[in-house]
Amino acid sequence: MQFAWRLGRTVLVALIAGLTASGLGLKFAANNPFETRIAPPPPPALAVKWQRPAFPPTPDLGNRVARSVATNSRATRGHERTEVPPRAVNPPRPLNRIGPTLLEQIPELAELVVCHSDEDTSAAADVIQGCIDRAAPRSTVEILPGRYMLQHQIVVSKPLTIRTATPGSDLPMACTVDETQCAVLVAAPDLVAQWGPLFIKSTSGVTLEHIVIDGNREARNASDATRRCQDGDNTYGFNVSVLECASCTVTDVVSTHAICGTGMVWIGADATIQHSAFRANGDSATRIWSDGLTLLFAPRSVITENEFVDNTDVALIIGYGVGARLERNTVLQRTQPAFAGLMLDNFDSNDLTSAGDFRGAVVAHNRIDCGAQLCTFGIQVGPRPWHATQNVIGGELYDNEVRGAKIGINADGAGVVDAPTTVYGNSIEDVPPGGRFAACAERIPADAINVAPTSVVDRRGDPMQAGSHSSDSCQLWSDIAGEE
């Protein structure tokens, strides 16, 4: 059971490893001066963005991901000093740059394209893809409200705004409140598409707003995509993949009913993801799990005022977030359990230039409500008990509210001497008093806060009592028992 779950998570880990090994993703190309250094969030007026090489055709990328499943697993050794990459104060201008040149900013290139397609027909994906392909960069593509059955993947690889059209109405739209007023892109029962029904890749300046993406999990239970999930390749169970998209934005988007893996996976700096909802992704009863939102690499990004309801792996997880802000998000577990509500991770990588660095990141004012102990960890900081890789570094967590988790905040693999993780001023309620994890051979208590012995955490004088035990994977499968 535990092995099957780890297989499901492996492909997300392998995605980082594959992109890094190929020079296409999180580790920059050999001639890029940023390869071995981390640039800090620059002042707005001096902001510099860079273009990484474009993705190759999807099958080739998929093969590299499959070949990169084996990742390193060097264990952290107590409080030994971890080498922390220096911050570049005034980085040289990268060789490649994301963003339009002056000649590319000619206003007449932009246009409004309104897509007209019959609902629930096999032509819907063709019509929508045609609208996207014909639109000039920086145009707006509008799709009329309705349900559109997608027989194949829709791909976006240029700066566009894609949204639901609102003909004859000036009223504000809220797909998170009423999906029926929006364009709903539904995966067809027999859809088999690596990276999901919507794939945004190798571009910048894409905006998704007022759109619903429905993975149609129940209708695809017997599909080849579900079988691939069961066999350990969860990239066929995603709803949305946003890979190598700089300065991209998601507003009032709903991602729901992903088969497995994630409702949305993200690689790209300077993202804004706001006022959106990630709901009912994955199915814990059949052991096919899914995150709500998986941010593999999102430095200087703002993730705010989103709702995560009944996702089944980790509701909101980020693997690299220098200067990122995760604020005022809500996680609710009501009908099925999740392993964690919110997590700062490194996706089993020891490379701090692409994973596990949260210096300057703020995680604040989030609400995680696990109901009746439907989260193992309300907030998880660090890779353990999932991985034995080195500690994540940095990050400041305060003014978060956690309710009903088996452990409110678990810091295991968090912080190093030169870059501690800061955790203080959080509210934690409804942790089972005197409880312990029944499935674990060693006694592991259910604590409001746990700071493992290998973590370096600055609590700023917070008076809340914390435990000090190492985590174990048995906790992920365990109910809570009272004192004997």
Q: Three-state SS for 108? A: helix
**304 pLDDT exceeds 80?**
yes
- pTM of structure: 0.83
Q: Three-state SS for 107? A: helix
Exposure letters 407-442 (e unless 16+ CB within 10 A, then b)? bbbbbbbbbbeebbbbbbebebebbbeebbbeeeee
All residues at 6 or more sequence positions from 3 whose CB lies less than 8 Å from its CB, including other chains = none
CA distance 423 to 358: 13
**330 pLDDT exceeds 80?**
yes
At 440-458, the pLDDT tens digits run: 999 999 999 999 999 999 9
State yes or no: cis peptide before 53, omega within 30 of 0. no
Contact in structure between 448 and 465 (CB atoms under 8 Å): yes
Q: Three-state SS for 227? A: helix
Exposure letters 302-336 (e unless 16+ CB within 10 A, then b)? bbbbbbbbbbbbbbbbbbbbbbbbbbebbbbbeeb
Provide the CB-side half-sphere exposure for 444 (13 A, CA). Answer: 26
Whole-number pLDDT of residue 239? 98
At 38-66, the pLDDT tens digits run: 334 433 332 322 232 333 333 333 332 33
DSSP letter assigned to residue 85: P
Whole-number pLDDT of residue 482? 81
At 382-426, the pLDDT tens digits run: 999 999 999 999 999 999 999 999 999 999 999 999 999 999 999
For the chain, percent of residues with pLDDT exceeding 70: 75
